[in-house]
Structures are given as C-alpha cells and as structure tokens.
Chains A and B, each alone.
Chain A
Amino acid sequence: MTTSNSPASPTKPVKQIPPFQGRRLLPEGVKDLFGTPAAQLQALSDRLRRHFSAWGYDEVIPPTFEYFDTLALGTGPRLEESMYRFFDREGQALALRPDLTVPIARIAATRCFDQPLPQRYAYVATVFRYEAPHGGQQREFYQAGAELIGAASPHADTEILALAVEAIRALGIQNFRLSVGHIGFFRNLLSGLSLSKTETRALIEAVDRRNVPLLNRQLARTSIPEPDRQLLASLPGLCGGPDILDRARNLLPANHTAHAVIDYLGLVYQLLEAYGLGEVVMIDFGEVRGMDYYTGITFEAFAAGSGYAIASGGRYDDLLARFGADLPAVGFALLLERAMRVLERAGQEPVEPRPDAIMVACAHPPCLADLLRRRAFGQRVELDVAEKPLADVIAQARERGIPTVLSCKRAISTQTE
C-alpha cells in the first residue's frame, strides 16, 4: 500500500535503523496505517457509520479481548482455531475477538434481552485471526457490519440484505453482485436421507467446489434414492438470476418440503426488487458452506477487482440461545481492506489527508482569530509553528500540494507559477 503524499519519487534506499537492524519492526499480520490509507479508511468508516445510523442501527463497542470460553461458545470450530489466545495473571484464558457477531450476540442475550425487539447493532472495528494473510486481509483487519436481533421475518432478512448492498454503494463500489442462498434448501434435501456425518461432509465439499463429477461419485457411494440424488446433483448449477427460483421449483416433486424455502427466497427477492435492488442480486442454492452456523438465508458480495468476497452474512437463529436468550438474528460483515482494494483497482481517487492552507505564524490577534474562524468553518488550516521564512513555507506547501499560504490576511496561491 502506498503511504506517501507526494508524487511518485524514485525508490530511496531503505535506511536501517540501528536498534532494529536484522529484526522486523512489526510481527507478521499487522500493519501501520498513516497518511492516505489512514485517511481513506477513516473516511470510509465515517460513511458506513452514518449509513448504519440512518437505517436505525446503533454503534456497539465490545471489548477487544474477553474470556476465551465465552467467545468459543459462539464461534464455530474454524474460527475458534484462529483465535489469538493468551492468559491473564490469574491464569484465565483470554482471546482477541475474531469477529463482532459473537460479542454482540453475548451483549444482546445477556444484557439487552428484556429491551424492546428487534434490536439493531452496528460496528466498524478491528478483528484478529491467526490466519495466512489473503485478499489484502491481514491478521488484524477491519470489519464493518450490522446485526438485526429479535426478528425472523422476510422483511428482517431483506433489510439486512439491502443494508449490505447500500453499504457497499456508500463506499463508492459500483460493479458488484450480491449472491443470496438459503441453507434450508440443502437441509431439506438431506432431511430423511439419514446420511452419516462423513457422507454429508463429502457432499458439502463437492457442492461447495461446484464439482459435479465428484458430487456424482460421492452420491453413488451413498444409499440415496435416485430422485433425491438427481436433486442434489443439480445443486452446483442452481446459481444465477431470479429464474433460478423457477428452475429449482421445477426440479422438486410437487409436495417436497423444500418448496417452502424457494417461496421464502422468492418473497425476499420480491422485497429486494421493491427496494430497487433486483439487478445486483443473484440466487445461489449451491451455497452450502455455512451449514453448521447459518439457519436461513446466507449471502456473499463479490466486486470486480477482488478475488475474494467483500462482504458476507446470513441468518443465525441458534447463536443467541447459547448465551441464554433464544432470539433469532441476521447480520453481515463487510471487509474494509478488501473494499479499499476494490476502490483502488477501480481507479477511485483516495481521500488525501491534505490541509487547505498553511498560515505563517505572525502572532497578530486578528490573524489568529482569522485562523480559528477558518477552522470553525471546516477548513483545514495548519499554522507554521516552525517559523520558516515565507518562501520556505510556500515551497513546502507547493511540495505537499496545499493550494494556499496565508500570511497576515494575504492569501498566496501556491499553484499560479
């Protein structure tokens, strides 16, 4: 990531700082943000906070670390494995939060359970996972997301989907798709087939990888009867526009319980169309990965310029019960670093942390009053506390791309020459 504010300069030799010679300054997986990327991240975070707030979602700020056991109660095994763990001085196992969904579920279930429902929570925060860095995402990375707790209606699901789409748009990302599935479809196809855990896992793997030959091979190893086998074999291809709903309907026998799931998704799709979001939405019944966590709709957002999903979410009605309050919930998280890459690849101008003017320090009360007034009106004005000669102030302003130098009420443009 580029951090310099000045135009591209030839690479300078790396200066070795004596105390760090031969040693890395930072552990792998974390990064310093300053200059443009920091300003950019802050600007995007602000935009998302305003967006969440406008939809009625309140900021929630859980602690950065808490008891490992408490977090592990809510995470699946994969996330549990990736948690940063450590001990406090009493020997209690602690962990850094690997997401915000679990702490929010804990807060809603243990502290706010008797408050009016539904409850709406939002956050922009860092999370920590001991994983190989991928897609611009390091071991500490930024998530922005929302959780809607205590409502299980299609309207609730649609609100979270629409909120996710509008959040992506609020960032300035144009070219993207939201792929929506429903884990209930796969569950319904499997119910009554009495498959072993190993067989189910093999089927999930083949469907998830969209590998029809492998899926057929796995199906042949099971005792699944022919009509069900054909249904399962069609899953990897049940992905596309809204016509997929009809294709799925036609594949199912008339009285199959999975029809209810298709009808439900159809309803959600209609609601999304009413929001004006039909175009960006795809339907995908082949999304089966979150089987052990999600209980209803699942979704992922993909944008041109990122090989990885930039946002994902779904309904998880079983999670809050683990913390003592049996409340339905749906939510999503957006990965800010990936979104920033997408914007960068789309050629969007990043937010530059650049002052509007530098004022020469003169200590005249009227000049300082002018300085304060400009700042109060939202201008970004630096005072030259180093007391450089005017020519040097102008030279530096020009180098940093700052358009104006203020000297005793005289506004000197740095761009005329």
Chain B
Amino acid sequence: MNDSQPLTLALSKGKLLEPSLQLFEKVGYDLTALRSKSRRLMMDEPQGQLRFLSAKGPDVPVYVEHGVADLGIAGRDVLEETGADVLVPLFLGFGQCRMVLAAPQSRPHQDLRLAHDLRVATKYPAITQRWFRRQGLSAQIVGLGGSIELAPEAGLADIIVDIVETGRTLHENNLVEAETILNIEACLIVNRASHKLRLNEINRLISKIAAVVAPERKS
C-alpha cells in the first residue's frame, strides 16, 4: 500500500539531530542535501524511500502518534512526557543521559515522605508527577521552561527533577543527585497504523537500523 509515497521520518532538532543523521548515513542513505540545506523542514533522500521532517524534540512523538510521520527519533524523556501511544521497536544507543531528582547540597538527604508542602521544579511535569505518585508521595509541581537548577536557590522550589549528562551544572548550582528517575536514550518510534499499513517497508528499515545500532551497543 502507498508504495510510491516515501516513508516519513520525523527527526528531533537539537542534540539528537547529528547522531540521527549519522545513523541514517550508516544505514546507507545519502543525506548531503539534508545537511546542506538544513533550514528546510522537509526533504526526501535521493532514492525517494524516506522523507525527513525536522521538528522540535517534544513534537516528534506527537507527529508520529498522529501519523503525520510514520516513524521518528525521539528521546525517552519526551516520549514519556508526552505519553504518546506509539511503537518503540528500538533503542538507538545515542543521546544517553539521565533524569534525576536533585536536592540542595545543604539538605542532600531530606526524607521526601516527611516533607510537607514539597515543591518540585521541572521541565517534565508529567514524568515527575507520575514518579511521585508511584512513590506514594505528593508534591507541588512547578513547571518551568528551562534553567531548572536555579529554582531551589531562587526559592521557587525545594528540589528539582532535571536531565543530567555530566552532573557539572548541578554541582555548579550547589545541587546533588538524590535519585535517578529515568534512563534516557534516543528511541526509534513508529506510528501504529503505519506499522500495519506499511509493514514490510517499516520492518525492512527497522532491521537495517538495528544492524548498525546493535554492534555498537555496550550491553
């Protein structure tokens, strides 16, 4: 079905873009055009099998869930945050980082169950809320757009939930990691309808990607 139409793949702009492009180059697609004219939001690779669409990271799961894109590459953070109902056939091994709960150095081991009126600043309110509920804790979530690390010192929150790669930013802001909430890496995601309607094309693509991802994985 639809064999003439290329499969549409949504890529996250930002730090996942370069490793995503490299991945598809390793699979064997010629992305020179995409790299040179990267301002364009939509572009087909020369063989006409894949159409790339670049989107903001948090929008990728939305595009794929709605079927605007058949596939996409998104971090587990945005995938969990949007709660998109998509297939996740592969973890891609790049974009690795962690979402952690961090507290001020002055009170590193505060017992969350004893704290009343706990305020948590985060860019990921849904994930944070879910984690707190699962722990049987209640917290007031303060949703922020960025610079989460500043919130405790500014008096906006008691603790934060944020993404760390090296931990340097936390340290510079007198914060310490208390708990890892989510291990993050880039995932290949697939729309449920596309999976059924274009099963063979998608399976072929997944196995090609799996073949270049697998040898590089540590675990």
Contact = CB atoms under 8 A, between A and B. Distances in A.
Contacts of B89: 209-212, 236
A303 B190 contact: no
Contacts of B67: 306-308
A210 B188 CA distance: 11
Interface stretch (B45-53, B115-123, B139-147, B194-202): B194-202
Interface string B153-197: 000000000000000000000000000000000000011111111
Interface residues of A, number: 26
Interface in B16-65: 64-65
Nearest to B91: A213
A134 interface: yes
B97 interface: no
B137 interface: no
B192 A307 contact: yes
B2 interface: yes
B155 to A, nearest CB: 33
A210 B190 contact: yes
Contacts of A307: 64-68, 191-194
B150 interface: no
A118 interface: no
Given A135-B66, A304-B2, A307-B191, A177 B196 contact: yes
Contacts of A135: 66
Contacts of B64: 307
A179 interface: yes
Interface string A190-221: 00000000000000000001111110000000
Interface residues of B, number: 24
Interface in B74-93: 86-91
Interface centre among B67, B191, B194, B200 (most CB of A within 10 A): B67
Contacts of B1: 175, 177, 304
A309 B88 contact: no
Contacts of B68: 307
Contacts of A214: 88, 91
A211 B90 contact: yes
B199 A240 contact: yes
A209 B87 contact: yes
B193 A302 contact: yes
Contacts of A179: 196
Contacts of A300: 196
A309 B91 contact: no
Contacts of B65: 134, 307
Contacts of A306: 67, 193
Contact of B193 (A211, A237, A240, A309): A309
14 contacts: A175-B1, A175-B2, A210-B87, A210-B195, A211-B91, A213-B91, A214-B88, A239-B199, A240-B199, A303-B193, A306-B193, A307-B64, A307-B67, A308-B193
Interface of A: 134-135, 175-177, 179, 209-214, 236-237, 239-240, 282, 284, 300, 302-304, 306-309
> A-B pairs with the 4 shortest C-beta distances?
A307-B67, A302-B193, A209-B88, A302-B196
